[in-house]
Structure 1
Amino acid sequence: MIFNITLSNTAADLSKKSNSLLLKIFSDKQYLKKELDNFLSSKNIILNSSLKKNFLSKEKQEVKFINHSGKPDQVILTKLFADEKFDVDKFRDLMSKLVIGLKDDDINFIQVELPDNELFKKFYPTSEYFYQTFVEGIHLGNYTFDKYKSEKKSPKKLSINFNNSDKNIKTAIKTGEQLLSAVDFAKDLSNEPAITLTPAELLKRTKKELLKLGVQVTALNKAELKKRKMNSLLAVAEGSDNPPYLIILKYKPAKKSSRKIALVGKGVTYDSGGYSIKPTDSMIEMNGDMAGASAVIGTIMAAAKLKLSVELIGVIPAVENMISGRAYKPGDIISTASGKTIEVKNTDAEGRLILADALEYASKLKPDEILDFATLTGACVVALGEFTAGLLTKNDTISSDLKGSGEKTFERIWQLPFWDDFSEGLKSDIADTSNLGPRWGGAITAGKFLEKFVDEKIPWAHIDLAGPALKHKFRSYTEKYNTGFGVRLMIDYLSKK
Structure 2
Amino acid sequence: MDFDLKTLGLAGAAGEKTDALVVLVMQGGAGGKDAVSQLQSQAVKAGDLEAKPGSLLQAWRHPGVAAARVLLAGCGDGTGAQVRTAVQAAVAALRGSRVKRLAIVLPAQAGDDAVRAAVVTAADASYSYVTTKSKAEGRKLEHVTIGVANADASRQAFEQATATVKGIELAKEWANRPPNHATPTLLGEAARALAKEHGFGCEVLGPKEVAKLGMGSFMAVAQGSEEPLRFIVLKYNGAGKGDAPVVLVGKGITFDTGGISIKPSAEMDEMKFDMGGAASVLGAFRAVADLQPAINLVGLIPSCENMPDGRSVKPGDVVTSMSGQTIEILNTDAEGRLILCDALSYAERFKPKAVVDIATLTGACVVALGGVRSGMFASDDDLAQALQSAGDAALDPCWRMPLDDEYAEGLKTNFADVANVAGRAGGAVVAAKFLQRFTKAYPWGHLDVAGTAWKGGAAKGSTGRPVGLLVEFIMGQQGEPQPKPARKARRSGKQTGR
**TM-score of the pair, normalised by structure 1:** 0.88
In structure 2, the residue matched to 1:387 is: 372
Indicate the residue corresponding to 2:451 in structure 1: 467
Aligned to 2:47: 53
Judge conservation of contact 1:61–1:78 (CA < 8 Å) in 2. yes
TM alignment of 1:11-50, pairs within 5 A = 13=12, 15-16=14-15, 20-29=19-28, 32=29, 35=30, 38=32, 41=35, 45=39
Give the aligned residue type for 2:340. L
Deviation at 1:225, TM superposition (A): 1.4
Q: Which sits farther off after the overlay, 46-55 or 182-191?
A: 46-55
SS of the residue 2:455 aligns to? coil
Alignment of 1:399-410 (within 5 A): 399-410=384-395
| 2:365 partner amino acid | C
Task: Kindly state the Cα deviation for residue 174 of structure 1 after the two structures are TM-superposed.
Answer: 2.9
SS at match of 2:454: coil
Higher mean displacement: 361-370 or 425-434: 361-370
Q: CA deviation at 1:15?
A: 4.6
> Which AA in structure 2 matches 1:356?
C
Counterpart of 2:490 in structure 1 is none
The 1:16–1:433 alpha-carbon spacing in structure 2 relative to 1, beyond 3 Å, is same
Q: Whole-Å Cα distance in 2 between the matches of residues 80 and 348 of structure 1? A: 44
Alpha-carbon distance in structure 2 between the residues aligned to 1:59 and 1:314: 38
Residue in 2 that maps onto 1:360: 345
Retained in 2: the 8 A contact 1:229–1:336?
Answer: yes
Structure 1 CA distance for aligned equivalents of residues 472 and 52 of structure 2? 35
User: Which aligned pairs between 1:49-448 and structure 2 lie closer than 5 A?
Assistant: 52-55=46-49, 61-69=55-63, 71=65, 72-82=67-77, 88-117=80-109, 127-153=111-137, 155-156=139-140, 157-162=142-147, 164-253=149-238, 255-256=240-241, 258-448=243-433
Structure 1 residues 440 and 160: CA distance shift in structure 2, 3 A: same
Q: CA deviation at 1:52?
A: 2.9
The 2-side partners of 1:49 and 1:162 are apart by 21
Distance 2:389 2:40 in 1: 45
User: Could you tell me which amino acid in structure 2 is paired with residue 190 of structure 1?
Assistant: A
Deviation at 1:140, TM superposition (A): 1.9
Instruction: Output the CA distance in 2 between the equivalents of 1:365 and 1:57.
Output: 51
Q: Give, as a single letter, the amino acid of the residue that structure 1 aligns with 2:21.
A: L
Per the alignment, do residues 255 and 332 of structure 1 end up closer, same or farther by CA in structure 2, a change over 3 Å counting?
closer
What is the DSSP-based 3-state SS (H/G/I as helix, E as strand, rest coil) of the residue aligned with 1:184? helix
CA RMSD across the alignment: 2.7
Q: What one-letter code is carried by the residue in structure 2 that aligns with 1:80?
A: C
Residue 9 of structure 1 is matched in structure 2 by 6
Compute the displacement of 1:7 (Å).
Answer: 2.5
Q: Are the counterparts in 1 of residues 24 and 72 from structure 2 also a CA contact under 8 Å?
A: yes
Secondary structure at the aligned position of 2:309 is classed as: coil
- Cα drift, residue 445 of structure 1: 0.6
Determine if contact 1:189/1:197 at 8 Å carries over to the other structure: yes
How big is the shift at 1:6?
4.2
Match of 2:300, SS?
A: strand
Which residue of structure 1 aligns with residue 476 of structure 2?
Answer: 496
Conserved 8 A contact 2:171-2:280:
yes
TM-score, with normalisation over the residues of structure 2? 0.88
- Take 2:52 and 2:185, find their aligned partners in 1: how far apart are those partners? 55
Deviation at residue 177 of structure 1 after TM alignment: 1.6
Contact 2:319 2:328 in 1 (8 A): yes
Using a 3 Å threshold, how does the CA distance of structure 1 residues 257 and 402 change in structure 2: closer, same or farther? farther
Offset at residue 97 of structure 1 (A): 3.4
Residue range with higher mean Cα deviation, 373-382 or 401-410:
401-410
**Structure 2: unaligned runs, 5 residues or longer:** 478-498
The whole-number CA distance in structure 1 between the counterparts of 2:124 and 2:139 is 15
% same residue: 32
For the structure 1 residues 18 and 219, does the alpha-carbon distance in structure 2 shift closer, same or farther, using more than 3 Å as the test? closer
After superposition, the C-alpha distances for 1:284-342 in whole angstroms (9 at most, x for unaligned) are 11111011111122112222321111111111111100011111111111111211111
Stretches of structure 1 that go unaligned for 5 or more consecutive residues are 121-126
Deviation at 1:109, TM superposition (A): 4.0
- Number of equivalenced pairs: 473
Partner of 2:486: none
Higher relative contact order (CA 8 A, sep 6+): 1
1:195 aligned counterpart, secondary structure:
helix
